[in-house]
Structure 1
Amino acid sequence: MEKDIKQVVLLIDDNDDILEFISDDLSEKFHVLTATNGMEGLAILEKEIIHLVISDVMMPQMDGFQLCERIKSSIEFSHIPVILLTAKITLQSKIQGLELGADVYIEKPFSPEYLQVQVSSLIENRNKIKAYFSSSPLLHLKSVAPSKADEEFLERIQCILDKNIGNPDLDVVHLANNMHMSRPTLYRKIKSICNYTPNELIQVSRLKKAAELLNQRTLKIYEISEMVGYSSQTHFGRVFFKQFGMSPSEYVSNQQTENKKT
């Protein structure tokens, strides 16, 4: 996990003073991009990897509710947490925001510290899930999905990877073509969900498939390395160790010990 790199927060509000105030407060921990309405915000989302969106509700051109609906209904952006800020304090407005998929709904006026805690909590929880997926040999890709739409997206990715796992030439071009997405869009989506580039995800998927096969204990390590697209068992062992902190043979031994316990 890239702990030393600031996560990117997109802040959207049509009030310049509020934009500056919140941006200054958050910029110590996060890299903050700003927009003055939903349309500007969408344009930024289409170009940048955004880890979280904070949006006012009452804005011209496209308000916060409309923006939230666009984000949560689009496969390109549905994984991004959304915090809505509003002076509306009616129960119905809260229900509307949450029904549209908002992760957090904060009433104005609010404490800057409270907003920062909410932002940190949402991002840290997502990062913990990504890290757990990365270090767990048998954890399925869909486990990092923050929504049902993202789970379906990742299952489609997994299906393509499984069908081509033994192909050493499998790459992002093949993946993008099969997903019917542009390479930049696929890159942003995968990078945001699991913190890997598409090519890194391909390698991790090869290693997780190898762990699954190793766990079955019916094939030799060199046979498995070839099955998942590695022509060299030495190279396979090296990348397996780098990913999971143990060699393939150590992994098999550990699994045997665990199975005896149960």
Structure 2
Amino acid sequence: MAASILIVDDNEDILQFLTEVLGDTYDLHLATDGKMAQEIMDYEVVDLIISDIMMPEVDGFELCRLVKSNVEYCHIPVVLLTAQNTYKAHIEGLEVGADIYIQKPFLPDLLELQIANLLSNRLKIKAHFASSPFEDVRVMAHSKMDEAFLKKLDEFIRKNIEDPDLDIDQLAEHMNMSRPTLYRKIKSLSSLSPKNLINITRLKKAVRLISQNEFTMFEIAKMVGYTSQSRFNKNFQRYFKVSPTGYIDSLIKDDDDK
């Protein structure tokens, strides 16, 4: 699935130009001001924002400051475009949390490469979290606000991990967010649905229990909220590319090699 980019500029020619440059690679949402941009963020999963600085009412600096100071959006990387070729403007862009600051005029290839690198690096982090049994969820945080959000979310899931009915409604209530808002936040941060994030957290807990060598596989599956042993085995294999018994065998082999 293509990444989703929100482009914000009050100049229709620039919107058209960026659509031509990026439209074949990404899913684009277009806004002509900061207010419209916020409305789009409230309803769509946005992976990256490209914003001009000079706009009426809410300019690019204000929009970036809003994004980076709001727990619902702060994980979204922001690219600021500006014709202001001054040291002060560059510093202000960095101070409000911009991830990339590009001066106009710019080469389309440069913009495309910087966007691709930024999204690729984040995708690698997400994939690493999902496939690594011992990786902490906070590896996906891009700010202190994200880190606090993920820590609170993870602690709640682990506290209720034996509940097979744990779902997004319970998470949303605990995080004091609407269901759609929480879904967008988790999806954009991790590329996972809340259901899949819960599953991965269950399986990471299972890995730790397996490593303790104190419980049967049936007991472990139940302890992490699975009512079906076969589903537990299938999900374990799906995320960690090895079966639970295969993981046990690897632990035994490692002990024998020591």
Classify the TM-score, shorter chain.
over 0.9
TM-score, length-scaled by structure 1:
0.95
The question of 1:197 aligning with 2:193 is answered: yes
Name the CA shift for 1:63/1:240 in 2 (closer, same or farther; >3 Å): same
- 1:136 maps to 132
- Compute the displacement of 1:107 (Å): 0.4
- 2:174 maps to 178
Seq. identity, %: 45
Name the CA shift for 1:20/1:258 in 2 (closer, same or farther; >3 Å): farther
Aligned partners of 1:107, 1:258: CA distance in 2, in Å?
53
Aligned partners of 2:254, 2:137: CA distance in 1, in Å?
23
Name the CA shift for 1:244/1:261 in 2 (closer, same or farther; >3 Å): same
The question of 1:233 aligning with 2:253 is answered: no
Aligned partners of 1:261, 1:149: CA distance in 2, in Å?
43
- Compute the displacement of 1:145 (Å): 1.3
AA matched with 2:100: V
- Compute the displacement of 1:235 (Å): 2.1
- Compute the displacement of 1:165 (Å): 0.2
Match of 1:117 among 113, 120, 129: 113
- 1:254 maps to 250
- Compute the displacement of 1:259 (Å): 5.2
Match of 2:8 among 12, 15, 31: 12
The question of 1:41 aligning with 2:37 is answered: yes
The question of 1:213 aligning with 2:209 is answered: yes
AA matched with 1:98: L
| Residue correspondences, number | 258
In structure 1, list runs of 5 or more residues that go unmatched: none
TM-score, length-scaled by structure 2:
0.97
Aligned partners of 1:257, 1:181: CA distance in 2, in Å?
46
Name the CA shift for 1:147/1:256 in 2 (closer, same or farther; >3 Å): farther
Aligned with 2:106: secondary structure?
coil
Superposed CA deviations along residues 163-199 of structure 1, whole A, max 9, x for unmatched, are 1000111111111111111000000000000011111
Name the CA shift for 1:42/1:259 in 2 (closer, same or farther; >3 Å): farther
Aligned partners of 1:261, 1:12: CA distance in 2, in Å?
57
- Compute the displacement of 1:220 (Å): 1.6
- Compute the displacement of 1:92 (Å): 1.3
Aligned partners of 2:76, 2:212: CA distance in 1, in Å?
37
Match of 1:58 among 51, 54, 60: 54
- Compute the displacement of 1:260 (Å): 5.5
- 1:28 maps to 24
Superposed CA deviations along residues 62-115 of structure 1, whole A, max 9, x for unmatched, are 000000000000000000000000011111111111111100000011111100
Aligned with 1:167: secondary structure?
coil
